[in-house]
Amino acid sequence: MNVLNDEPNGLRRDMTPQADSFATSPRLTENQQTFQTAHPAVDGVVVRVRAPAVADVMGGIAEESGSPVLTATLGMSFIVSMWRIAGDSLRVRLVPEAGQGSAHDVVMPMSAIASPVEQAAAIVAACKTSGAEWAAAACLAVQRAIAQTVIDKPAGGFAVLLQTDFPADVDLGRHTVMAAGVIEALTRLENKPTDRAIKARLCSDAAAVITGVRSVRTALTSIGGAADGSLLQIKFHPQLSGEPLALPPGVTLTALRTSLARPVTQERLIDTRLCAEMGQTIILGYHGGDGHPGAPRIERLSSITPNEYVERFKDIFPQKITGKQYTAKFGELRGLNGHLAPDDTYKVRSRAEHHIYENRRVHEFSTCISRARRSNSLEAMIEAGELMYASHWSHSQRCGIGGVEPDRLVACIRKFGPAAGLFGAKVTGGGHGGEMVVLLRDDPAAHAALARAVQEAQTMSSRPVQTYRGSLAGAELSAV
């Protein structure tokens, strides 16, 4: 019998979750009362929501090419309290370390917050000048909601209290997650029920001003993710949607983080995104030129199968091309914040290959997870893990996202393998390439095996590795 462990009933059931000491800490309420005493709510209405951290499981940056992606919430969050205040200002306070740390404050005039979208960079600059770069995502989220008329321009101001157990050096969607919590709190406070997809785009657009890269998947997951550990299966075409994909009983995800000697820069992520758009622009102008005059028009990289890519398209993607050469041959890119630098070299073929093959891997991974849940198949879980390893290799080798340290982590995890309950691991694309996600059996033996693998990797790299467990409901479902 093919089962995921040796228990007679197959998969081991989920362990009892640990108490959520962050959400239940009395300090959360004490901090809110202190801030509210200094800046009272003019109508007595206070809204509090919780937006969880997010990890890419499969697909990730392939969002840019139309591929479905799989994401998961994690067991850390921003708890956002918000209320209306007298005066014409947005007052934001951050209390880190699960509400136990020292408070940081910033005040922005509502005249700046209620400015057109084009003034977003000025808000970021003002936050930096005030020594409050951490507040930019919150300020931009409010600005976007007003500029896009999701809420009416307020007569007064707002107070926003951010309390978080995000470690200071952890990404896991930090900017987008903060924006998600603020948008959810704001729409509730203003009694403006808003479609989840609209809220996700507001959050993504706000965070993109800071990061240079949009991530609708992260926003959608932080807003609408499930609390039971299910993945969120996000599809972008023909329309944006998100459906849960339950993991098999007794299987879970864990996030890891390590620092890199050579961190992946934000420019690398933007470069990868630009290359994907360059590849899509190339195929938009390519129709019937390869001896297939009746071939359907292909508008997205995700529309190309690996076989079609090898047979029809591989040779039309340049391995390397400068921005100047590309523009002269194919024209300007449209619809992106980024732009091609004339003298920079872009590796279009390898980046396009990642998106094409990753799209296939996402579909196959979803099938494996569904088959394992339905039939208790160990083989299906092993296959899902192998797809994660392939995705990790592609992120590293085709896109340059990752590094020596996460590669060592993956190698150590793979050495222990399914026999120890460790099925797969891959880089997520966050944390300068040092954040990862692991698919494993949720029992003490598997978690102990992961700890041993982490210890081995730490010894080889001489760099600490943090482990983050648990999952939380998205902001729409939060009750704190």
Grade residue 295 by pLDDT with cuts at 50, 70 and 90. Answer: low
**69-85/46-58 β-pairing:** antiparallel
Q: Is the predicted pLDDT of residue 342 greater than 60, yes or no?
A: yes
Mean pLDDT, rounded, for 343-357: 94
pLDDT top residue among 162 and 17: 162
Q: Does position 64 have pLDDT exceeding 50, yes or no?
A: yes
% residues pLDDT > 90 (the chain): 75
Model confidence at 287, in pLDDT bands (50, 70, 90)? low
For 79-109, how does the pLDDT look when each residue is reduced to its tens digit (9 = 90+)?
999 999 999 999 999 999 999 999 999 999 9
Mean pLDDT is lowest, of 5-19, 205-219, 312-326, for: 5-19
Contact between residue 205 and residue 212 where contact means Cβ atoms under 8 Å apart: no
Q: Is 158 helix (H, G, I), strand (E, B) or coil?
A: strand
The residues near 290 (Cβ < 8 Å, ≥ 6 apart) are 312, 316
* Cβ–Cβ < 8 Å for 112, 119: yes
| Alpha-carbon torsion (351, 352, 356, 357), positive or negative | negative
Rounded mean pLDDT of the chain? 90
Asked whether the predicted pLDDT for residue 285 surpasses 60, the reply is: yes
DSSP 105-145: EEEEEHHHHTS-GGGHHHHHHHHHHTT-GGGHHHHHHHHHH
Tens digits of residue pLDDT in 371-402: 999 999 999 999 999 999 999 999 999 998 98
Give 413's DSSP letter. H
Beta strands in 134-240 (DSSP E): 157-164, 231-235
- Judged by average pLDDT, the poorest of 11-25, 103-117, 174-188, 458-472 is 11-25
Q: Are strands 69-85 and 157-164 parallel, antiparallel or unpaired?
A: antiparallel
Structural domains present in the chain: 26-246+472-477 (3.30.230.10)
The percent of residues above 70 in pLDDT, for the chain, comes to 92
In whole angstroms, give the CA distance from residue 472 to residue 456: 30
